[in-house]
Amino acid sequence: MKGLTAVESVARRPLFAPGLDSCLLFEGPEGPVLDGFSVRAGAEPMVALHTVRCDPAGCIDVDLGCTPATNTLPIRRLEIPVGGEAGILAAWVRFPDLKVRPLPQRYRRLGPDRYEYSSNTFRAELGVDGNGLVLDYAGAWERVPSDD
């Protein structure tokens, strides 16, 4: 992508259906960009290609329900210290029906590379790398090992 520097990439597999999710995190003059895809087989097959851009000065958080990748943007933007927490209001895009609704979300930093994500009564622990890129999402997604 022109004018952007690749920072990190990750591939994850869902634990709830056959599939694959992958994204690349880029940094550019106007902030971070996530570019990726999600593929699912089974009872509700789908393919979703996504590019999410975030303006740090006026960011409106979006949560694509088909990928844990979009949790990366508020984690990076909020810069929560270990032991701290912060809340956001995200536009949650459900898949496969693409219905959008506001969704209050909280992030609590458990350690240098662990966060607790919560929304309403749902909670999950997220593992991230040094760039804040979500690597695993407890009970739902796990990182696909790379060759390096």
pLDDT averages per 10-residue partition of the chain, 148 residues:
89 94 92 92 90 69 92 94 96 88 95 97 96 94 84
pLDDT (0 to 100) of residue 67: 94
For residue 48, give its domain range: 5-143
- pLDDT at residue 57 in the model: 56
pLDDT at position 135 is 95
Count up the domains in the chain and report the number: 1
The model's pTM is: 0.85
Q: Cα angle at 101 between 69 and 59, to 5 degrees?
A: 55
Question: Is there a domain that residue 46 lies in?
Answer: yes
Sequence-separated (6 or more) residues with CB below 8 Å from residue 74: 61, 86, 88, 90, 105, 107
In a domain, 93, yes or no: yes
Q: Is 148 domain-assigned?
A: no
Residue 123's pLDDT is 96
Residue 124 lies inside a defined structural domain of this protein: yes
Q: Which residues contact 51 (CB under 8 A, 6 or more apart)?
A: 33, 34, 35
pLDDT of amino acid 109: 98
116, part of any domain? yes
Is residue 100, in this structure, part of any structural domain at all? Answer: yes
